[in-house]
Amino acid sequence: MKTRARWGKRATFIVGITLAFAYVFPFFLVFVNSFKLKYDILDNPLAIPLQITWENFQQAYTKMNFFRSLTNSIIITFFSVSLLIIFSSMLAYYLARTKTKLSKYIFLILVASMIVPFQALMIPFMARFAQFVSWNNRGALIFFYIGFGVALSTFLYHGFISNIPTEIDEAASIDGASDMVAFWRIIFPMMRPVTATVAIINALWIWNDFLLPRLVLTNETQTLPLSTYLFYGQYSIEYGQAMAGLVLAVIPIVIFYLILQKQFISGISAGAVK
Amino acid sequence: MKFAGIPLAIFSIVLVVPFVNGAYYTFTDWDGFETTKLVGFSNYAKSFQDPTFWSTLRFTALFVIVSLILVNAVAFGLALIVTSQLRSKNFLRTFFFVPNLVGGVVLGVIWQFIFNSALVALANKYNWELFKQSWLQDTNKAFWALIIVTVWQSSGYMMIVYITGLVSIETDVLEASQIDGASPLRTLFTIKIPLMAQAFTIALFLTLRGGFMAYDVNVALTGGGPFRTTELISLHIFQDAFANGNFGTGQSKAVIMFLIVALAALVQVSVSKRYEVQR
């Protein structure tokens, strides 16, 4: 029995390691080839580069306007996520604490809306908002992300607030705190775990989104996925540069992940059970 | 809390209005700018007369079914590995999740390089028949390429959902089954899976929805090629409306897509809810 269990464990380990290797292999391949010259890549994509060239990175950095797209991605993600946290936590508080028919229906509509695919809206969407988009497309995009993200975020907050006893609110209002003060000073700080979940789930989605930015953004306001896609389309024949571009596109989020790994995993699992 | 009105207003402007608007447009002669008259169901009739729409629907259905099965099977397997007693489990979990951090477009482009260039170069060097011609130039192989990338990308996320389900099972139940002499396999099928059925409901719902909405990987990996044979429904609608300017049929197809997704999700959730055990 004991030896069987040990063999089972060993087999699991081997399968696990093999799979883990397979999961990161594509990234490894891109990374290795980003330091090579075009000829070496075609000769053997698996070989470790003997001569390291930084030329690819320099080219990719300028051609895909890396710094500009990174800044755009950061600005858009930061403002969308922060505003989503502020708005959806307040909305969830309102919906969870007012027990009226209206608040119940609003909540139901929010939940039901999560099943609507963006594709079902995008055509009238673009016709209707063309003007707004041409006036300030980054602002428009942030506005849209709030609209699309508010349902899930509110839903997550709602589940948490329902478990906070109303006595806390009452105690605050007896002490003379207004609704707003009670919420921001007492309730909101209690919700830190959900806030982390909301922040991570929305940040991942917004950071990586492609379809909406593709419809909305201009050249100057491109986000990282968009500029990577366009750059690759244009320079895919220059393999080395294309690979360097991909490395640049992947690095920021991977670094972020390695720093906040625990929060990522627990945030996503908390969001998933709901 | 009058401030709760702001997110509700944004939600209505961004989601509700275009949704109602879009449904209305499908019954008019809308050309992207203006409408002059109602045309009844003719946009829907035209959509269903379009043979490429039918082939897209078939292709999408196949994609959704195959990816649903494979993503969940792989994700559940990964979850079992990282909840076992391995010392390296946290390390493995980190690796499995990495593809999920990166957007579908970048992943699609990475695999485009692998299928179009890396594998072809290696196949020519070492004489591997299977990869000598790029998989993306053949409809059937391109389908499997899409599946491979999708499984690779989404299984890490669904793994987390399954981990959450697995660790929520009370240890005393598991100990009891061990004392009763149940084999690990038996425990898995008669104790663990029924007790974590909720995780399956969620993961199946997410993969179903994700499969229908898949766009990024499709665009970046195959671009719908060869000859529009690997277009999933999202890309098909995008092309119809924004590349060919058929706003009426494009929007009708989008409404059809919404109805299919809503119906499929409803059926799936109500069926899997029946397997959930009350605790």
ipTM value: 0.86
User: CB–CB of B84 and A9 under 8 A?
Assistant: yes
Q: What is the pLDDT of residues A21-37, one digit of tens each?
A: 999 999 998 888 888 88
User: CB–CB of A228 and B109 under 8 A?
Assistant: yes
Residue of chain A with shortest Cα separation from B257: A120
Closest Cα in chain B, distance from residue A229 (Å): 7
How many beta-carbon pairs under 8 angstroms link A with B? 253
Task: Examine the pLDDT at A117 and tell me if it is beyond 60.
Answer: yes
User: CB–CB of A117 and B209 under 8 A?
Assistant: yes
User: CB–CB of A120 and B262 under 8 A?
Assistant: no
> From the list B3, B111, B254, which residue is nearest A123 (CB)?
B254
- Residue in the block written with tokens 């002669």: B29
pLDDT value, residue A89: 93
| Contacts with A144 from chain B: Cβ below 8 Å | 14
| Contacts with B159 from chain A: Cβ below 8 Å | none
Top mean-pLDDT range of A9-13, B166-170, B179-183, B201-205: B201-205
Residue of chain B with shortest Cα separation from A270: B164
- Interface with A, mutate which of B74, B85, B110 (most A CBs under 10 A): B110
Bond before A117 cis per omega within 30 degrees: no
Q: What is the pLDDT of residues A186-201, one digit of tens each?
A: 889 999 888 988 998 8
Q: How many Cα neighbours within 13 Å face the side chain of A33?
A: 29
| Contacts with B107 from chain A: Cβ below 8 Å | 26
Residue of chain B with shortest Cα separation from A145: B14
B28, β-bridge pairs: B38
Mean pLDDT value of segment B27-52: 84
Closest Cα in chain B, distance from residue A274 (Å): 9
Confidence of residue B136 (pLDDT cuts 50, 70, 90): confident
Residues B68 and B62: their CA atoms lie apart, in Å, by 10
Q: What is the pLDDT of residues A174-185, one digit of tens each?
A: 888 888 888 888
Confidence of residue B203 (pLDDT cuts 50, 70, 90): very high
User: CB–CB of B7 and A150 under 8 A?
Assistant: yes
